[in-house]
Amino acid sequence: MDKITNKLEIWKDIFIKNIPNIAIALVVIFIAYFASRAINTFITKNLGKKIKQESVRNLVSRVASAFIFLTGLYLAMTILKFDDTLKAIISAAGVSGIVIGLALQGTLSNTISGVVLSFRENLNIGNWIETNGFSGQVIDINLNYFVIREADNNMVVIPNKTILENPFKNYSLTTKMRISITCGVEYGADLEKVESLTKEVISTNFNQNELNKNVEFYYTEFGDSSINFLCRFWVDSKNALEKLKAKSDAIIKIKQAFDKENISIPFPMRTLEILPNQSLDIHKVADKEVS
C-alpha cells in the first residue's frame, strides 16, 4: 500500500506540475480542430473557381484539413513532452506497418481507388451512372466508398475498389440519348401510313433537327396478332429519368395519333369453347387463343 500511495503522490505532483502544459496542449488541439474546419471551407470555396471536378476539391480539402489537425495533435504531444513516446511510435510504425498493411489490404485498396476516382475526368459528383447493377446519381466520392442515390431515393454505398475494377455507364457525359420503342399494328393497317404517322408524331414532339438526327422506323416481324415495328429517335437528356419520361411521352403521343386515325394496336384475346354434348368440365374445355 505504501508503494501505491507513493506512486500516486508522484503522479499527482507530475500532474500539478504539468497543468500549464496540459492547458496549452488542449488549447492547441482546440485551435487545430477549428482551423482544420476553416481550411476545409476555405479551400472548397477557392478551388471551386479553378477546379471543376467536385470530387477533386473534396479530396484536397479533406487532406488539408486532416494535415492541419494532425499537425496540431503533434504540437500538443510535444508540449506535453511526449517526444520519446512519439519516437517510439514512429520506430514501431516501421515494423508494424507491414503487418497492418497486410491486415488492411482491402481498406488501403479502397483508399487508393478513392484517390484515383476523384481525379477521373469522366466521373464526377452529380453524374448519373450505372454500375455493378445499380443506377443513380453520384452523391459522394471519398477515400473509402462511393455513394449513389437511386431514382427511388435509396442510397447505395459501394466500395471504391469495386467501382474502379468494373465498367460503368455515365449518362451525363453526353446530353444526347437514343430511345427505342417497339409496338405492333393490326394486319389490316396501311403500313406506309403507320410509318409516316409515327415519324411525324416523333418529329413534332421531339425536334430531331436540333440534334442533327433522324427518326428511324423499321418493321421487324410478323407477330402472332400484329405486325411489329421498331422506332428509334434521339432526345436531349442527361440522366435515365429524363430518358424514361421522354419514352413515356412518346408512347402516349403515338397511341393518341393511332386512335385518331383508327389504327388498332391488337392484343391477345382468349376465349373458351365448350364442345357439344359435354358438360362444363374444366378438364374438357378447349382453350384457344385468337387475335
Give 138-184 pLDDT, tens digit per residue: 888 887 888 998 888 889 998 888 888 888 888 877 778 889 999 99
The domain that holds 155 is classified in CATH as 2.30.30.60
Same domain, yes or no: 34 and 85: yes
Domain count, the chain: 3
Closest-CA residue to 232 (of 277, 265, 262, 199): 199
Q: Which residues of the chain have pLDDT under 50?
A: 102, 282-291
Contact 243, 179 (CB under 8 A): yes
Residue 14 belongs to a domain: yes
Query: Does residue 271 sit within a domain?
Result: no
Give the pTM.
0.51
23 within some domain: yes
Query: What is the structure's pLDDT at 89?
Result: 61
Q: Which domain holds residue 76?
A: 2-112
Domain identity same for 20 and 105? yes
Q: Is residue 267 part of a domain?
A: no
What CATH number does residue 239 fall under?
A: 3.30.70.100
Q: Which helix (H) or strand (E) holds 106?
A: helix 105-118
Same domain flag for 249 and 193: yes
The answer on 105 and 6 residing in a single domain is yes
Q: Are residues 225 and 195 in the same domain?
A: yes
Same domain, 14 and 108: yes
Q: Does residue 206 lie in a domain region?
A: yes
Whether residue 91 sits in one domain with residue 147: no
pLDDT of residue 83: 61
- Answer yes or no: do 146 and 184 share one domain: no
pLDDT of residue 228: 94
Cβ(73)–Cβ(141) below 8 Å: no
Same domain assignment for residues 29 and 63: yes
Q: What's the pLDDT score for residue 275? A: 64
Q: In what order do the strands lie in the sheet with 227-236?
A: 176-185, 227-236, 216-222
